[in-house]
Structure formats: C-alpha cells, structure tokens
A and B are shown apart, each in its own frame.
Chain A
C-alpha cells in the first residue's frame, strides 16, 4: 500500500489537518472551525410559504404521474419515435443524478483520499444525493411504458448483462434503496435516539456497534455502484452511434460522464452548503468550503483534460472550433467549467463565499450542459423530427424536483444535517428542555414538534 499512501499524500493539500475542532492557520493563529457538528435547524417554523409552494408543485407533478400510470404516454409527453427519450430520462435521470453524485465525490474524497475536513459535510451530500436519486427513480418509473414487467430484475437469468440499460436498472435502485439509505440511517437513528423513550435508547445503543462494523463495507459498495452506473449513463449513448454529434459521441463518453458527475457532485454540495448557510443564518467554515473548492478545481481540470485529449485524439479539434451551433455549445460548456477550474486555484476566490458560490454554480452548469447536450440538442435522429416537452411532461419533471427540494427543506429541520457549531447543538437542547417542561406543566405532549417550531 506504499504507492497508495504516496498518492493520498500527494493529493492532500499542504494545509491538511486531522482535527475538526480547532485548527491553526499557516501563520500559527488558532482559528475557530465553525462547522463542528450536524445541527438541525431548530429555530425556524417547519411550515413556511416556500415549503408549501414546493409541496404544491410536487403534488401537481405526482398527481399527473399517477394519472399517467393509468394512461398512455402519448398525451402526457412530447416524445415521439425519433426522440424516444424525453426530459424525464435525459434531464431528471441522466443529468440531475450528476448533481446527486455528492455522496460519491465528497465521500470518496473523505474516506478514500483522506480529506478529513469533508466528513463534516457528508450528511448534506448524502441527503441531497439520496433525494436526487429517489426522485430520478420515480421519474424513471413513470417514464417506462411497461413498468409491470420490471419484476424481471430479480430474475438474473433474464438479464442481458451486456446492456448498459440493465446495469442502470439494477445498480441505481440498489444504490439508492440500500447503500444511500444505509448511509443516511445514522442521522435518522440519531433523532430517534434523542427523542425516543429509554427502551429506544437501549435498543439503538445495542444496534450501534453492528452498524459501525458493516459501515466500511457499505461505503465501499456505495462508491463502487455509482462509479459503475454513473459511467453507464454515458455508456447508454454509445449505442446511439452517429445519431449523436461526433463532438460528443466518443468511446470516452462513460468516463466523461463519470468525471462530470464528480464536477457536479462537488459543485452542488458547495452550492447547497452556501445556500443553506445563507437561508438558515449559519456561520460558514471557509476551511471546509475552501477544500471543496480546491477539489472542484482539480476535478474540472481533469474533466477538461480528458475531454480535449479525446477531441484531439479523434481529430475533432477543428470541428470544436468551427464556431457553428455545435461548436458554440461545446465551447460554452467548456468555458463554464474552465472558469471555475482556473478561478478556484486562487485562494482568495476559495475563501470568498460569494465568489465560491458563483464558481460552484458555473461548474455545476457546465457539468449539466455536458450531460444534457448529447441526449437532446446534439442528438440527431435519422428522420426529421422535433421534440419539446409537453406541459404535463414539464409539470411532472418540475414536480419531481420540487419534491426533492421540499423533502430537503423538511429534513434539515428534523435531522442534524447541516453543519453548525457545538454551542448551537447545546443551545438547541437547552431550548428543547425548557419547552418540554413548559409543555408538561400545561399537559401537552411536546415531542417531536417542540424541536422544530418556534
């Protein structure tokens, strides 16, 4: 394992520290690390107009999805035989699960490449990743025309093992329902532990060692599976052959899809942390965020390196700079990733929240462009046809996303997901205890609402 040690040392930044409570900066001054522990958002109302807005959008989308299940696909979508895949597949699944690759990208950085600081933001990555995958799978379930035949998935003798589609049909649900759910289990059990009866506490204490024992196995699976299916999403497009513009159709597509998942995963976790901190008035920890920005920049460079080596290798460089429609698409996608790649090399950018946020958004957009374009804009079927999503199709796609946003908004209030300070955590318990006593004297049952309402 010597080479491995060397590699991880090489990848470690110069200012890499093992502790998370208090660190010294390069000048030797002690800094406060603001992110010490996941803390629920405890001083906010649970039901807000914003939440209701997203719940309403999700309700519309899911109602339509339910109706669609008992109706043909035709009236619900703008898809046709030439563009047989609409935005449910090409956007909700093939594009948005890149944003949901935070658990893969941040998790591998933390557990494999030893970026210890990033353990603090794993819960944010895990919950958002789970929601992207879960809503993507819901989208997929209502997209397929003959969903009732999906039971074949438990009959290996029916599998066409060489099909990228099979790999996705198997890996994605298994990853989401077993591995991501398991990784999200501690934060759910933690709530049960702090809100439950004494029996619950005893039971959870008994369970904890077992969970910890299988944890390293489970996170290994949680990285192998998405490495497989995130690349298979690109692998799907290989069979489409020259229907896809040669600027995107390449044998490297699976690898590039995986790298784009890394770019989007790191970018989105950075974005989500900054936005949540802004929304819920949390202090920022620029040590952790800077680390994310640094890795994001490296990932962007790796992506662009592979992308352009591939273009040169296949002799497509001239086409890439032809400044026609496809070339401009490629160049805009490249620029979106190149700007954060270069800018985030600067420590000033990494340590300025607004700039970091802007760069994370650009990187995410670039990654999403790369994942989306070959499925639709650069997809040129043999016959003349056009596709634009129908209104119900759009409402359903928006509904799935809104469902994820609403669920995240709720989750951060019930579970210790967003990183905060230990003093916040202690203050929350003091508040809860006070309310508990106040409620008891009035004869009310305070749990669990007392944790999260003003």
Chain B
C-alpha cells in the first residue's frame, strides 16, 4: 500500500474533512436537543399498569422497599387508631422520602366505585428533572431509566419544582439529604438484566415489564378488545408531557386517581426552545457583549476626556 498522496488528493481530503465537520456542526445545530414530541428509542424499557387488574395487595410496595433498602414509613399523618398512630406499621400515605412506589385507593365521593393506582417515577422520554438538574445528577441512562447520582447533586430541589408528576422527594430530615425516587431498580436489578422488583412480584399481572413499543401495543390491544372499558379509550403516558415510559390503563378518569392532565409537548422543549438558540455556543452573549463593548468603549473614551477636563477645573480626582 502506498502512502504517497498527491496534492489533489490532499486537497480533496481536506475539503472532505472540513465538509464533514461543518456538516456535523450544522446537523447538531439543526437537530433539536428537545423535540416537542420525543420518540422513544427502540430499547426503552417500560411498565404497564392496568388498574382493572390490580387487587391492591401492595406486594409491589414491599418488594420495592426490600429491593431499594428503604426503611419502613411509620409516620402516618392520617387520624387512624392508636396502634397506627404509635408508629408500629409501615403505612405510607403517598410517595415520600421512604417510599418510591405506592398503591393508592380512590373512592368515588358518595359512591361505592373505587379504583387503585400505582404511583412511581414515570421515566419520561424527555424528563423535566433531567433538563433542569444543574450538574446532571439526574440522568436518563441506559434503557431510558431516570437515575440519580449523589456525588453530583447539590440539593437545589429544582427537580421537585420541575417534575409535573410530583415524583422526586427530598430527605428534609437528613443532614446528608438524598433525592429519593423510583429509578426503575436500575442498579439493583435492571443492570443484572432482571425486571424491576414491583413488576417481578405482581401476582395478578396488573403491572408488567417490557419494551415500551411492545407494552404500548399490548395496551392498545386491550382497549380494542374491550371498547368502553377504559377511560377515554386511551393509554396515559403515550403522549403526556412528551410521552413517558410508564403507561397506564384506567377505568376511572386519570385526573381522579392523581395522574395530572398534561399537554403532549415535552417540558424540556417548552423551556429550552428559545434559550437553546440564544445560548448556542454562547453566540448570543458573545454577540451582545461585542455590541455593548463597542458602544461602551466609545462612551468611555469621551467620559475619560470629560473627566480629565473636570479634574483640571476642580483640582479633584475623578471618581469612577
């Protein structure tokens, strides 16, 4: 093989390489970091929860606490009987710093109808918490699991403000507080190619684990098989806040069981669509700085001349 390259080939090579770099830059400038409607990658894992199957046995809660090494939550704030108030039982009332996963019961006011709902992190396709986290402590990792890294977190709690599902919790009573949220059992199980503790233990199959595409298809099949059974004949999480990796089927209104009504645009897109243009390679601030400097320098020079004149008049040093 000859290494001899003539001038023409070299030139072409340079042009080609330059073009590739320029093309890459343009592509990265054009390709949106936060599309309004993100598309799930093919390997995105998912959970599908169907509250018409759930019996409310709460096995998933125990399994979750066990897998994640969470302490029992014995501080029940509700007016229950003395034994509960004495702090004997693990009885969380909502997601909190000791509870990453919870089954809650909704009862129709005045009626007898009821429904369960399982709450945990929704693992959004474009999570607001990840967009807001200043040092990337919250990250969307492999298979789309949203995980938290203690060594990068400064405890600013922006994730709690940003999350539309009210999921991340902060340890208000710890000196070394952590952000507590479902991480899809990433370190505990997912990395070992095991499904999360909650789906693994569920005896009825109310919550199942799989690839997002498959579970979405399965959910839609259930709707087709029983039209009218599910609320609005749709899957919650398909489009909410740009789409989530946890999907819900419910026989009562989603809002009633605590799943907020959200638009289909990702919050990351809404929050960064303007700033991502202005701050692209810091071009906006640099341009602004250049213009301001030109004007200020001109005014500064004149001001200096004037202050020199004043110094001569008054005999006093000019004050900046």
Contact = CB atoms under 8 A, between A and B. Distances in A.
Interface in B91-148: 94, 96-97, 128, 131-136
A81 B159 CA distance: 10
Size band of the A side of the interface? 35 or more
19 contacts: A1-B298, A21-B314, A37-B319, A71-B175, A74-B172, A146-B177, A152-B152, A164-B132, A190-B319, A212-B320, A216-B300, A217-B293, A224-B288, A224-B289, A224-B292, A238-B267, A238-B270, A254-B275, A382-B164
Interface string A145-163: 1110110100000111111
Interface stretch (A239-247, A297-305, A326-334, A356-364): A239-247
B73 interface: no
Given A216-B300, A242-B263, A251-B273, 17 more contacts: A37-B319, A73-B172, A82-B166, A112-B292, A116-B303, A146-B154, A149-B151, A149-B153, A150-B154, A163-B131, A165-B156, A190-B319, A212-B320, A216-B293, A241-B267, A241-B270, A383-B94
B66 interface: no
Contacts of B289: 220-221, 224
B158 A165 contact: yes
Interface of B: 33-34, 94, 96-97, 128, 131-136, 150-158, 160-162, 164-166, 168-177, 241, 258, 260, 262-263, 267-268, 270-276, 279, 285, 288-289, 292-300, 303-304, 306, 310, 313-314, 316-317, 319-320
Contacts of A164: 132, 271, 275
Q: Which 8 A-B pairs have the closest CB atoms?
A: A145-B155, A74-B172, A146-B155, A84-B160, A238-B271, A166-B134, A84-B157, A239-B162
A411 B171 CA distance: 40
A227 B288 contact: yes
Contact of A165 (B33, B134, B267, B294): B134
A161 B279 contact: yes
B131 A239 contact: yes
B152 A239 contact: no
Interface string A365-378: 00000000000000
Interface string A33-55: 00001100000000000000000
A8 B34 CA distance: 39
A72 B164 contact: no
Contacts of B94: 383
A159 B292 contact: no
Interface of A: 1, 4, 8, 18-21, 37-38, 70-75, 79-82, 84-85, 111-112, 114, 116, 119, 123, 144-147, 149-150, 152, 158-166, 169, 186-187, 190, 193, 212, 215-217, 219-221, 223-224, 227-228, 232, 235-236, 238-243, 251, 254, 381-383, 416, 422, 425
Given A146-B154, A152-B152, A84 B135 contact: no
A146 B153 contact: yes
A228 B166 CA distance: 29
